[in-house]
Amino acid sequence: MLLFQSLQRDCFITALFDNFQIGTRLGIGVDSSLWVGKFAGIQDGVALLTDTQLFSNAGKPVDGIRPLVRIRINQITFVSE
């Protein structure tokens, strides 16, 4: 049952990206941080963002801009445009 719930959650999160065109600027929440970058697609259970920067929950940059970031679907807590 737990595996089914996990797969169901991953499918729901993947569906959140259906309305976004490639290149749309997104914020993706994971744990206690937020990745902000351009949506580059979904591949093999990860969301791809380009020109991406990591921010803390306080809104301060944690690191510099990265050319590509892969975020596992099961780590995503929210998606915003």
Question: Selecting from 3.30.300.30, 2.30.30.100, 3.30.70.1170, 3.20.20.150, what CATH number does the domain 2-80 have?
Answer: 2.30.30.100
Task: Round to whole Å and give the CA distance between 22 and 75.
Answer: 21
Q: Which residues contact 2 (CB under 8 A, 6 or more apart)?
A: none
| Alpha-carbon distances of 52 from 3, 19, 32, rounded to whole Å | 31, 20, 16
- pLDDT tens readout for residues 30-75: 988 999 999 999 888 899 999 999 999 898 999 899 999 999 988 9
pLDDT band at 3 (very low <50, low <70, confident <90, very high): very low
**20 secondary structure, DSSP code:** P
* The pLDDT of residue 2: 42
**Domains of the chain: which residue ranges?**
2-80
